[in-house]
Structure 1
Amino acid sequence: MSANLRQNKPRLLLMGQRRSGKSSITSVVFHKMPPRETLFLESTTRIQKDSMHSFMDFQVWDFPGQLNYFDPTFDAEEIFSGIGALVWVIDAQDDYTDSVTRLTASVANLQDIYPNINIEVFVHKIDGLSDEYKSDAFQDIRQRIEDELNDHGYKNPPVSYHQTSIYDYSIFEAFSKVIQKLVPPLGTLENLLNILVNNSGMEKAYLFDTMSKIYVASDTRPIDMEVYEMCSDYIDVILDISELYSYPRSESTRLGPQMVETESSVTIHDGTMIYLKEMNKYLCLVSVIKHPDAKDKKGLLDYNAHIFQDALNEVFARGWEKQENSEAAKEPAEH
């Protein structure tokens, strides 16, 4: 990709009160830190900026909870101009009154300048709550936010809500939903996955970002968290094995010749097959097949996955070409 495109990275801004869990989230999701080690993280005192290089480059900015970034002493344009989504983290185990008030004030400020911004509310640390209280707290937080936004004059603002914990897969599921809103060809990817699933006898298929285990897209069948967890765990298994028996990977460009891809499958105790195929150096397809004859249809799976891979790379190639043409059109012509 061109230098201009690489600089044009959507930002995910993580905001919320102090000790709400923002730094723990980024450490677990984007830096592979074991959740229990996050107990020793110090509170964030300045903006932490991480650049993620994957199928789509983006930035994650972790903000200290005690500062007001709408104060005139801060450059709001610099902070919010390239924003892809605002992720507001609320500690469900703490008194969240102040957090809700700050969130609604922030949304009110942003709606005037950036009305189309995605607001993602992570009701976090739900692992420490009983099932009954977990549901009550989630509904209470959601109702308070909606009531306060209505008081500010905003009807149906673009706010989404997620229950999250770093001790299970809910945080990866939530970030997957956030990232998917920033993927321009999402509808096309879902259609391609639907075609693959329907023609291959698959129960469910995911297109994962290999390193973060955020899924970029899935077919439109309902998501079963047990199936999702199996697929996510299988990526870890393959990555661990690949580190032991790895092969040299060329630094070819994304649109250049494809490298030799990893491909693997395993049949577990109940006859379910988990099938993984690397699409390119950023993305992998992971699917679950519960048909009893799945292991005898491996050739068909490989063929269909290869067809899907060709279509996938064509979709992204056209997306990059469109972006590059758009960038070129903005540059002054030479005489």
Structure 2
Amino acid sequence: MGKGIPTADAGPTTTGNGDIKHRSKRDQKPRLLLMGLKRSGKTSISNVVFRKMTPSDTIFLDTTTTIQKEATHTFMDFQIWDLPGQIDYLDRSFDAESIFGGVGAMIWVLDALDNYMETVGHLTDTVFHLQQSYPSIKYSVFIHKIDCLTEDLRDDTVRDITQRITDDLYDVGLENPPISYHSTSIFDSSIFEAFSKVMQSLVPQLPVLESLLDTIGASCHFEKVYLFDVISKIYIASDTTSVDLRAYELCSDFINIIVDLSEVYGWHQETDFHEGEQLAALQAHGAESYVNNIKGYTLYLREINRNLSFIAISKDPAFDREKSLIDYNVGMLRDTLLKVLDYV
């Protein structure tokens, strides 16, 4: 029978000999694994992205010794499992199904400042074995702490790591495994950009969403458009033009301002309003805001629902004059998105 697995909460319950008795509803949510060797930065990433910890405070975090589970309650309800790096999960005495069953994506965090030969070996072994039993898992490699390297060394390191992993997997018979690579740091927006790409791989409606955002971007002369998860600042979709991290940071800061203002001045759906028709009209329309002349951009936000917001960046000098038409077009987009995402 499989070994009992150290865990920080109830999780999959086990009998004395390690058999899985049942899974709670919480454990049946889509799962995303954070894996990597000890001290690679997994727990810091989880705390910065999903618990809003200040990056400088992560130096006080202890080494993870049990499976840490973070349940999200945003656009896509899922679990983040932070796995201790000192355990061999490929050991046959472990019950692999209790860890890897139901996993949508696995993120392997690789410390770019460390001797990464060992972790590359562990990663390729893990991917090879999981592909045999769990072929639907998608893999992302976060080449982490990259901000501490010079630009030239950064490019060389990323290139070397990517090539070594590709060669090692080819040698064991995996020519085109579903792996993406991301250079990350918790001290800038790169970690949110990387997580956005991971989450997009789990959104089945992504091609439709991208097509809709391409259309609205072209019709309204937007430079870039996003669908943001308001709480995590992860974007679940964008138009297919290239992402500018500086523009992304502007959008993320804009959401922070709107959220802070909403907590003070916004309406709450559970409040007992006497003017119910006015509230219904506001909810049907979706909250909207825009601001001009932010580093040469106009930022436009439209609420899709309480979890998602549409944000667009414009450099069009005629934005104010054409705003009524933009409002109409984005309103039609909102109605379509609600249908695509099954929120109506």
Query: Match for 2:98: what amino acid?
Result: E
Matches within 5 A, 1:286-301: 286-301=311-326
Q: 2:107 aligns with which of 84, 87, 112?
A: 87
Asked whether 1:262 is paired with 2:287, we answer yes
Q: Which moved more, 1:292-301 or 1:55-64?
A: 292-301
Matches within 5 A, 1:134-213: 134-213=154-233
Q: 2:332 aligns with which of 302, 307, 313?
A: 307
Residue matched to 2:134: 114
Query: In 1, Cα distance between the equivalents of 2:240 and 2:116?
Result: 34
Query: Match for 1:267: what amino acid?
Result: N
8 Å CA contact 1:273–1:295 kept in 2: the answer is no
Matches within 5 A, 1:1-335: 8-250=28-270, 259=283, 261-268=286-293, 271-317=296-342
The percent of aligned pairs where both chains have the same amino acid is: 50
Question: Deviation string for 1:118-158 (max 9, x for gaps)?
Answer: 11100000011000111111111111111211221221211
Question: Deviation string for 1:93-118 (max 9, x for gaps)?
Answer: 11111111110110111011112321
8 Å CA contact 1:175–1:214 kept in 2: the answer is yes
SS in 2 for 1:203: strand
8 Å CA contact 1:124–1:165 kept in 2: the answer is yes
RMSD over aligned CA atoms reads: 1.8
The structure in which a higher percent of residues are helix is: 1
8 Å CA contact 1:121–1:161 kept in 2: the answer is yes
Displacement of 1:231:
1.0
Query: Match for 2:327: what amino acid?
Result: D
TM-score for the superposition, normalised by structure 1: 0.89
Over 3 Å counting, the alpha-carbon distance change for 1:270 and 1:74 in structure 2 is closer
TM-score for the superposition, normalised by structure 2: 0.86
Query: In 1, Cα distance between the equivalents of 2:341 and 2:294?
Result: 37
SS in 2 for 1:46: coil
8 Å CA contact 1:263–1:277 kept in 2: the answer is yes
Question: Deviation string for 1:10-44 (max 9, x for gaps)?
Answer: 11100001110000001011111111111111110
Displacement of 1:308:
0.7
Query: In 2, Cα distance between the equivalents of 1:184 and 1:238?
Result: 29
Displacement of 1:72:
2.4
SS in 1 for 2:320: helix
8 Å CA contact 2:104–2:136 kept in 1: the answer is no
SS in 1 for 2:233: coil
Query: In 2, Cα distance between the equivalents of 1:243 and 1:55?
Result: 19
Query: Match for 2:107: what amino acid?
Result: V
